[in-house]
Amino acid sequence: MPINHEEFRPTIVAFCCNWCSYAGADLAGSSRLAYPADVKIIRVPCSCRVNPMFILRAFEKGADGVILCGCHPGDCHYSTGNYYARRRMTLLFSMLDYLGVENGRTRVEWVSAAEGVKFSETMNSFVEKVRSLGPNVRLGDLRCKN
Amino acid sequence: MQKIGVFVCHCGSNIAATVDVKKVVEMALLEQGVVHAEDYPYMCSEAGQSRIAAAIAEKGLTGIVVCSCSPRMHEATFRKAAERAGLNPYMVEIANIREHCSWIHKDMAEATEKATILMRAAVAKVHLNAPLQAGESMVTKRALVIGGGIAGIQTAIDIADAGYKVDIVEKTPSIGGRMSQLDKTFPTLDCSACILTPKMVEAAAHENITIHTYSEVEKVSGFVGNFTVDIRKKARYVDIAKCTGCGVCQEKCPSKKIPNEFNRGLNNRSAIYTPFAQAIPNVPVIDTTACIKFKTGKCGVCEKVCQAGAINYKQQDEIITENYGAIVVATGFDTIKLDQYGEYAYGQSKDVITSLELERVMNAAGPTKGHLERLSDGKAPKEIVFIQCVGSRCSDDRGKPYCSKICCMYTAKHAMLIRDKYPDTNVTVFYIDVRTPGKNFDEFYRRAVEDYGVNYIKGQVGKVIPQPDGSLLVQGVDLLDQKQILKKADMVVLATAIEPNTDVRKIATMLTASIDTNNFLTEAHPKLRPVESPTAGVFLSGVCQGPKDIPETVAQAGAAAVKVIGLLAKDKLKTNPCTAQSDELLCNGCSQCANVCPYGAITYETKLINDHGIREDRRVAVVNSALCQGCGACTVTCPSGAMDLKGFSNRQILAEVDAICR
Amino acid sequence: MNKQAELIKQISGVNPLKCMKCGKCSASCPSYNEMDIKPHQFVSYVINEDIEALTASKSLYKCLSCFACVERCPRGVKPGKLIDAARQVVIRQRGQEYLSPDEIPALLDEETPQQLLMSAFRKYRR
Amino acid sequence: MQELINRAKSLLESGEVSRVLGWRKGETDWDVEPAFFNSAEELSEFIYNGFCGANLSKYMIEASKLEGKTLVFLKPCDTYSFNQLCKEHRVDREKAYIIGVGCKGKLKIENIDAAGILEVRGAGYPDASEILTVKTLYGDREVSYKSAMLERCHVCKGKEHMVYDERMGESADTSDADRFAEVAKIEAMSPEEKFAFFQSELSKCIRCNACRNVCPACSCRKCVFDSTKFDSAQKANTTSFEEKMFHIIRAFHVAGRCTDCGECSRVCPQGIPLHLFNRKFIKDINALYGDYQAGADTDSKGPLTDFRLDDCEPSIVTKRG
């Protein structure tokens, strides 16, 4: 597909757990399953390592979307990490929605080490979604000052 | 201030074809703290590594960033190279510009821009890296093998022969597994039991092997070298020490109408039973769901007839706790359920059977004493149709997307054996592809066709229609002849897809071993580490990792054993230094972190703290770095940020975020 | 790229490349002997973009739309949907692309099942 | 009030307690402030009236470090905060002598002002009557009691003390509103309306830290916003991370621990309804993970340090919305 450099290219931060999702991203790579270069991956040991502050910081610094990927519930390398992450992110996303911030800019997806296809599909659909939302304005400043 | 070196790998053309590596080097030199940057065709090569070492020595680098393939590939390589050059190995960060960049993007400008950003994030992180020292942990010199089939038995024997203790946990009353149900094995047509039972006996007699049959793994904790496992030894209601295996109890048991699992439910067994004659241990168990004594309180025949006094109705499940250094999963497979394949009339006609059922029918110890006969009326079948790929290679949810691998060969075996023993019986095989890679495999298949006259038809069967006269009408197609075929058969055999044992998901969860969508356990690397799970200390043996036949299973079992031996041979293991650490000055002592720690690694101490001149006793969190595995769950519960993770600290991750969003 | 082949793929929602050539569709087809192009061949005709031959085939009108092939196909290729799409392409070529609601009352009579009209309307409405 | 003073004096005299933590009249009659009283004499300044909204639990963190027991007066809703602090090992139950003091709803001076009553010199000790008599420079005035109450009293958690050594005075359950009605109202808004609402409210914030200082859950020895651990303390920079994300991060840090005591809203000099953040989390927690009241006990696991295998997925937010 030809690349249109004029269109809106969002900045997307993907936090991937080392054991499943980062490996899933590697598999997507070795299987040459393309997804937009807008996605930049940060490796964390587990989805439960992701502090909501990291996500808010990304938005404050200009990210247009943040996605968190971890092992499927029940398959966490550390047994229970993704269960905590699931609660934290549910509450955080609900709060962002409450503040009137588009909830399409945040996502959690469980991607195993064997799911290269899912990783690629997830990133494609997430980038698509964020592109449709346009540049992030509201999450830049949750104090919401004018 | 760090002095950082950036090394950009071409990976031949894998990276360089899509990423302008020179440009990345150029951009790296603009980054604060970067005093050296270079590119090289293969950074992981000996020459590439010496360039890194030379730069460390010449420029006095304090941290390095390698822009290359995934850290899961070569992080260890570059850390070792740095260590050899006198740099702390944890001062190395990898920017993954291959799997996460060059391999998935086509546009050079775009991929170069992304590679630059990934490089910047790694540089930003390495600025905040601190030298870390790996700790040590002891290795328990004992292995656990989960599953007592041929895979588990072979792994256990190999480990035990090397002089280490091994426990086998098998959930059924006897070891032996799926192989014990087979009649003959391809391509040599050996009698399966004849080659398996000596192995079973060897395992049982081995001084280093302890077998827990009728037992299940209940709980697993700990980590590589130091697993603690709870094993539930289900009550057999028969004392193993006293039972002589005479079999009188089974003969006299009045409850005899229970489907015999070993014969795939094709005949019945008694409530007190040993699954098969060569069972090890040759000690029966009482099936309490069928036992009259357990259901009504009245009976007790087995107790009366047992001369050894081995029957004990009051026996209870027992939970034993053992420590292991390594765990091997060898949980094997079963055939899939065929409920959703109505078109093949399985379950509608007794004469439509699976291949595994045919194994039992052909076996001398099976329900028909080895005579090939229809299960509906006991008549000898004159026309047998085999259908391949039943549930294999299916993209819908009725079956499995993978090739079960063994069906082509066992179908050829069955066809050949039937034609050999019953020459007046015609055998037709409907196939999609005949897959026979393997030594002497294709020759074997050709013998079935050429020497034994098995009729192979390329095409699938659409429907099997039971007829009023008891025969079966098979509607198929011959794609090469362009003809639809209606064939009358006396028996239809389905080459049913295999799937991992249903318990494996539960076991994988306990072991935190990764598992794929088909319930096969994932290997640490599909090519280079095929018998290891990504979870350290957990190894894979047999079909639990993917479909395979007996020789492959035995080979993999041996390979897993070698890996286990390699681990158990070490006295101590280096531990991951990326563990949590609490800042005493910031800690509130609120216990939230301890609540989420999966390893119980956080405890609390009351300590005298000197907080900028204020001296007071405070309750503060203390992390046991030997137990901590570095997940980071605690760091997020900590509102003050006292708890942090070495190697993935708050500031490091925020620096990466900032670099990406810059 | 052949437009008609694309159209057939689009209408049917079928990806013919998923076919593994097992022939279960042909094995299942009750009209197999009546057909000149067999169900498993529908797929290769679409892949090879030989739509002319496909639309000229009498198989289009021998297919009973029993959907046995759709039900049993292990790869989700659904040859029955392909043939259905090919039929639509033929009808569209004949300039009978659409059925308007106004035409329906005239089509009503005692003999015509209600269901037939409804399914025709579903398929051919604008 | 005199009964409370007498009891405090006798406990001080008997040596049972070493000091008293209560309320003292400030510059004006409605301006009541928390205070430690170390002697019987000092207790002459002790006051307990309708303006004693301040939750004294948090002061027990420091009091727990002192020698001897501290007598603390806790209203029913304050005891939740005390319990939560006990659970987090921040206060020492052994160091506290708790008198569960009666409460029939506390007043908000702004609400009295809003009724057009000026130059307030005091208000009658609230009783169960519907009408509140307010003393002013111009004589007594009357106002509907409910209209003068603090927001939190309209969603009163009940008249029971969760923890105490003894109880004095009568309490009343003053709740007359749905605790989550305001949150639900915002949830029902369009994203644009929500954003506009919070933008107008939070634009008032002057980052005075009053909410942080008063909050019993915000009791970190050192706040992340003051520490270098997160690179989040950037006092001078007006466009800093801290400035922008303060309230949401603060709300997240107290999520699952906030007892909904309402002190943040009570003390905000800009009148920002800060409780709407905390209450949103509480509403979600109740709806998604089962009803939970922080501080109702001292041993349950908090909702964010707990999980169920079948918890909902974060995508529920999108599906619900």
Chain C residue numbers touching B474 (CB-CB < 8 A) = none
pLDDT tens-digit readout, B120-175 = 999 999 999 999 998 888 999 999 999 999 999 999 999 999 999 999 999 999 99
D320 reaches B (C-beta below 8 A): no
Residues C37 and C66 in one domain: yes
Measured between CA atoms, how close is D220 to chain B, in angstroms?
A: 6
Q: Which residue of D has its CA nearest to B650?
A: D230
CATH number of residue A133's parent domain: 3.40.50
Residue A2 confidence (pLDDT): 46
Measured between CA atoms, how close is B639 to chain A, in angstroms?
A: 10
Q: Is the pLDDT of residue A145 over 60?
A: no
**Structural domain spans, chain D:** 1-177, 178-321
- Could you tell me if D245 and D234 are in contact, meaning their C-beta atoms sit under 8 angstroms apart? no
B632 closest CB neighbour out of A23, A32, A46? A46
Q: Is the pLDDT of residue D321 over 60?
A: no
Q: What is the mean pLDDT of residues D57-76?
A: 94
Distances (CA, A) of B493 to B179, B414, C69: 19, 10, 22
Chain B residue numbers touching A33 (CB-CB < 8 A) = 104
Residues C29 and C57 in one domain: yes
- Our separate counts of H helices and E strands in chain A read 4, 4
Domain of residue C64: give its range: 3-95
Q: Count of A–B CB contacts within 8 Å?
A: 161
Q: Which residue of D has its CA nearest to B582?
A: D229
More confident residue, B330 or D221: B330
- Could you tell me if B632 and A12 are in contact, meaning their C-beta atoms sit under 8 angstroms apart? no
D274 reaches B (C-beta below 8 A): no
Q: Is the pLDDT of residue C45 over 70?
A: yes
Q: Is the pLDDT of residue B498 over 80?
A: yes
Confidence of residue B405 (pLDDT cuts 50, 70, 90): very high
Residue D237 confidence (pLDDT): 46
Q: Which residue of D has its CA nearest to B652?
A: D230
D89 closest CB neighbour out of B589, B639, B651? B589
Please tell me the least confidently modeled range out of B361-365, C98-102, D97-101, D210-214. Answer: C98-102
Q: Is the pLDDT of residue B522 over 80?
A: yes
Which chain A residues in 86-145 lie under 8 Å from chain B, judged by CB atoms? 88, 112-115, 120
pLDDT tens-digit readout, A49-94 = 999 999 988 988 889 999 999 999 888 888 889 999 999 999 999 9
B493 burial via Cβ count (<10 Å: 0-12, 13-18, 19+): buried
- Could you tell me if D285 and D292 are in contact, meaning their C-beta atoms sit under 8 angstroms apart? yes
Residue D121 confidence (pLDDT): 78
Confidence of residue D114 (pLDDT cuts 50, 70, 90): confident
Q: What is the mean pLDDT of residues B297-310?
A: 93
pLDDT tens-digit readout, B406-426 = 999 999 999 999 999 999 999
Q: What is the mean pLDDT of residues C42-68?
A: 89
Chain B residue numbers touching A48 (CB-CB < 8 A) = 596, 631-633, 636
pLDDT tens-digit readout, B282-294 = 999 999 999 999 9
Looking at the DSSP bridge assignments, the partners of residue B623 are: B602
Chain A residue numbers touching D201 (CB-CB < 8 A) = 144
Measured between CA atoms, how close is B30 to chain D, in angstroms?
A: 23
Q: Hey, are the CB atoms on D321 and A92 less than 8 Å from each other?
A: no
Residue B358 confidence (pLDDT): 97
B644 reaches D (C-beta below 8 A): yes
Residue D204 confidence (pLDDT): 85
B586 closest CB neighbour out of D65, D227, D305? D227
Strands B184-185, B190-191: pairing is: antiparallel
CATH number of residue C31's parent domain: 1.10.1060.10
Please tell me the least confidently modeled range out of A25-29, B347-351, D231-235. Answer: D231-235
Q: Which of D192, D229, D317 to mutate to test the interface with A (most CBs of A within 10 A)?
A: D317
Within 10 angstroms of residue D114's Cβ, the number of other Cβ atoms is 12
Single out the residue of A17, A9, A20 nearest to residue A43, CA to CA: A17
A146 closest CB neighbour out of D199, D243, D317? D199
Distances (CA, A) of C1 to B549, C47, C91, D67: 44, 11, 22, 88
Classify residue A106: in a domain, yes or no.
yes
Question: What is the spatial distance between Cα B116 and Cα B15, in angstroms, rounded to a whole number?
Answer: 13
Q: Is the pLDDT of residue B44 over 90?
A: yes
B589 reaches D (C-beta below 8 A): yes
Question: What is the spatial distance between Cα A41 and Cα A17, in angstroms, rounded to a whole number?
Answer: 10
B277 reaches D (C-beta below 8 A): no
D224 reaches B (C-beta below 8 A): yes
Structure tokens at B25: 């080097």
Confidence of residue D238 (pLDDT cuts 50, 70, 90): very low
Within 10 angstroms of residue D29's Cβ, the number of other Cβ atoms is 19
**Percentage, residues of chain B above pLDDT 70:** 100
A77 reaches B (C-beta below 8 A): yes
Single out the residue of B270, B263, B264 nearest to residue B291, CA to CA: B270
ipTM: 0.79
- Range among A4-8, B59-63, B528-532 rated most confident: B59-63
Write down how long chain D is.
321
Confidence of residue A1 (pLDDT cuts 50, 70, 90): very low
Residues C90 and C109 in one domain: no
A57 closest CB neighbour out of B535, B596, B657? B657
**Which segments of B408-537 are extended strands (E)?**
426-431, 455-458, 461-466, 472-478, 483-489, 491-496, 498-500
Chains that touch C (3 or more CB pairs under 8 A): B
Residue C124 confidence (pLDDT): 65
Q: What is the mean pLDDT of residues C84-109?
A: 75
Domains and CATH numbers, chain B: 4-127 (3.40.50), 142-234+317-332+501-568 (3.50.50.60), 248-305 (no CATH), 334-499 (3.50.50.60), 580-646 (3.30.70.20)
The structural domain count of chain C equals: 2
Q: Is the pLDDT of residue C95 over 70?
A: no
Q: Which residue of D has its CA nearest to B615?
A: D65
Residues C54 and C110 in one domain: no
Question: What is the spatial distance between Cα A32 and Cα B99, in angstroms, rounded to a whole number?
Answer: 8
**Percentage, residues of chain B above pLDDT 90:** 89
The structural domain count of chain A equals: 1
Measured between CA atoms, how close is C116 to chain B, in angstroms?
A: 28
Chain D residue numbers touching B651 (CB-CB < 8 A) = 229-231
Domain of residue A53: give its range: 12-140
Q: Is the pLDDT of residue D19 over 60?
A: yes
Residues C113 and C91 in one domain: no
Please tell me the least confidently modeled range out of B407-411, B452-456, B622-626. Answer: B622-626
Confidence of residue D239 (pLDDT cuts 50, 70, 90): very low
Question: What is the spatial distance between Cα B657 and Cα A51, in angstroms, rounded to a whole number?
Answer: 12
Q: What is the mean pLDDT of residues B562-577?
A: 93
Question: What is the spatial distance between Cα D299 and Cα B535, in angstroms, rounded to a whole number?
Answer: 34
Q: What is the DSSP letter of B503?
A: T
Chain B residue numbers touching D88 (CB-CB < 8 A) = 588-592
Amino acid at B658: D
Please tell me the least confidently modeled range out of B308-322, B415-429, C58-72. Answer: C58-72
Q: Hey, are the CB atoms on D252 and A95 less than 8 Å from each other?
A: yes
D221 reaches B (C-beta below 8 A): yes
With the CA atoms of D178, D179, D183 and D184 taken in that order, what torsion angle do they form, in degrees rounded to the nearest 10?
A: -30
Q: Hey, are the CB atoms on B111 and A37 less than 8 Å from each other?
A: yes
Q: What is the mean pLDDT of residues B29-37?
A: 95
Measured between CA atoms, how close is D254 to chain A, in angstroms?
A: 12
Q: What is the mean pLDDT of residues B386-402?
A: 94
Residue B136 confidence (pLDDT): 85
- Could you tell me if B511 and B329 are in contact, meaning their C-beta atoms sit under 8 angstroms apart? yes
Amino acid at D318: T
Q: Which residue of B has its CA nearest to C75?
A: B395
Chain B residue numbers touching D65 (CB-CB < 8 A) = 616
- Could you tell me if B236 and B302 are in contact, meaning their C-beta atoms sit under 8 angstroms apart? no
Residues C16 and C67 in one domain: yes
pLDDT tens-digit readout, A91-144 = 999 999 998 888 899 999 999 988 999 999 999 999 999 999 988 877 655 544
SS (H, E, C) B166-186: EEEECCCCCCCCHHHHCCEEC
Question: What is the spatial distance between Cα B628 and Cα C48, in angstroms, rounded to a whole number?
Answer: 60
Category of B272 on φ-ψ map: left (φ > 0), alpha (ψ -120 to 50) or beta:
beta
Measured between CA atoms, how close is A52 to chain B, in angstroms?
A: 8
Residues C68 and C123 in one domain: no
Q: Report the predicted TM-score, pTM, of the whole model to 2 decimal places.
A: 0.71
Which chain B residues in 465-484 lie under 8 Å from chain C, judged by CB atoms? 475-477, 479, 482, 484
Q: Is A86 helix (H, G, I), strand (E, B) or coil?
A: helix
Residue A142 confidence (pLDDT): 52
Q: Which of A57, A76, A99 to mutate to test the interface with D (most CBs of D within 10 A)?
A: A99
Q: Which residue of B has its CA nearest to D226?
A: B640
Strands A106-110, A65-70: pairing is: parallel
Q: Is the pLDDT of residue B526 over 80?
A: no
Chain D residue numbers touching A102 (CB-CB < 8 A) = 191
DSSP B339-393: TT-GGGTBTTBTTEEEHHHHHHHHSTTSTTTT----TTT-PPPSEEEEEEEESTT
A53 closest CB neighbour out of D183, D194, D230? D230
Residues C32 and C74 in one domain: yes
Average pLDDT, chain B: 94
Measured between CA atoms, how close is B522 to chain C, in angstroms?
A: 25
Residue D243 confidence (pLDDT): 63
Chains C and B touch (3+ CB pairs under 8 A): yes
With the CA atoms of B341, B343, B349 and B352 taken in that order, what torsion angle do they form, in degrees rounded to the nearest 10?
A: -70
Q: Hey, are the CB atoms on B484 and C22 less than 8 Å from each other?
A: no
Sheet with D70-74: strands ordered across: D32-37, D19-25, D70-74, D96-101, D166-168
Q: Which of C26, C36, C38, C42 to mutate to test the interface with B (most CBs of B within 10 A)?
A: C26
Q: Hey, are the CB atoms on B394 and C75 less than 8 Å from each other?
A: yes
Please tell me the least confidently modeled range out of B72-81, B328-337, D309-318. Answer: D309-318
Residues C88 and C26 in one domain: yes
